Amino acid sequence: MEPHHPSMHGVLRLIVTLDGEDVVDCEPILATMFTEAITVNGPEQLGNIQVPKRASYIRVIMLELSRITSHLLWLGPFMADIGAQTPFFYIFRERELVYDLFEAATGMRMMHNYFRIGGVAVDLPYGWLDKCLDFCDYFLTGIVEYQKLITRNPIFLERVEGIGVIGGEEAINWGLSGPMLRASGIKWDIQKVDHYECYDEFD
């Protein structure tokens, strides 16, 4: 089922029952990717351990950077499946910058091993925040570029507009959450609602 589903090739495996050419039954097997924050938050809540504010903010920054990288990594093969091969290389250029940031803080580019029960493993190095802000400024120009390339591109619009529309009610019935639910028009941000880390203080 791989080439037809937009997730990155290999993440989602569907066992499909066929009847001639029609798909009769479909069982998804998700290779769920847990972030380290969940494994650490569990024992912290059980043991009533307070996390210092600074550590909480550092964790949020790391999680958001990981989220940016994973969304970039979604975008690459998505455009490649539609037919545009170049955004695939552009995302790796942005991801390299984030890898460098991670390497400076945690020691490894992707598998950080940074979250510990009660905070983070080590504090951020001295100039890290400035580099991070530089990355954010650069990334804004990168997004402008992506917008110019992708958002109005008539080929992209032809292939994507109007396909796979899910209404608000249907989204709740199916149990969707995250960007798909927000795109269906319902205002729901699980990070704010669930008091995850210190997302409450953000706008």
Partner 1 sequence: MNYGHQTVLAVRYIGQGFMITLSHANRLPVTIQYPYEKLITLECFRGRIHFEFDKCIACEVCVRVCPIDLPIVDWKFETDIRKKRLLNYNIDFRICIFCGNWVEYCPTNCLSMTEEYGLSTYDCHELNCNQIALGRLPMSVIDDYTIRTILNSIQRKTQ
* Collapsed DSSP state (helix, strand, coil) of residue 29: strand
The number of C-alpha atoms within 13 Å of 189 and in the hemisphere containing its C-beta is 8
26, 17 contact by CB (below 8 A): yes
C-alpha dihedral (42, 36, 190, 194), degrees to nearest 10: 20
Instruction: Give the integer Cα–Cα distance in Å for 188 and 18.
Output: 37
Q: Which is nearer to partner 1, 43 or 125 (CB)?
A: 125
Q: Least separation, in Å, of the C-beta of 75 and partner 1?
A: 15
Cβ atoms < 10 Å from Cβ of 58: 21
Q: Least separation, in Å, of the C-beta of 117 and partner 1?
A: 13
Q: Which is nearer to partner 1, 114 or 181 (CB)?
A: 114
The type of residue at 55 is A
* Collapsed DSSP state (helix, strand, coil) of residue 118: coil
Q: Least separation, in Å, of the C-beta of 62 and partner 1?
A: 15
Q: Which is nearer to partner 1, 102 or 181 (CB)?
A: 102
Q: Least separation, in Å, of the C-beta of 132 and partner 1?
A: 9
The type of residue at 32 is T
Q: Which is nearer to partner 1, 96 or 170 (CB)?
A: 96
Q: Which is nearer to partner 1, 108 or 180 (CB)?
A: 108
Q: Least separation, in Å, of the C-beta of 176 and partner 1?
A: 31
Instruction: Give the integer Cα–Cα distance in Å for 100 and 107.
Output: 9
Structure-block tokens of residue 144: 């402008």
Q: Which is nearer to partner 1, 13 or 131 (CB)?
A: 131
Structure-block tokens of residue 21: 């050419």
- Interacting residue ranges for partner 1, rule: CB under 8 A: 86, 93, 96-97, 100, 103-104, 106-108, 111, 113, 121-122, 125, 131, 134-135, 138, 145, 148-149, 152-154
Q: Least separation, in Å, of the C-beta of 87 and partner 1?
A: 10
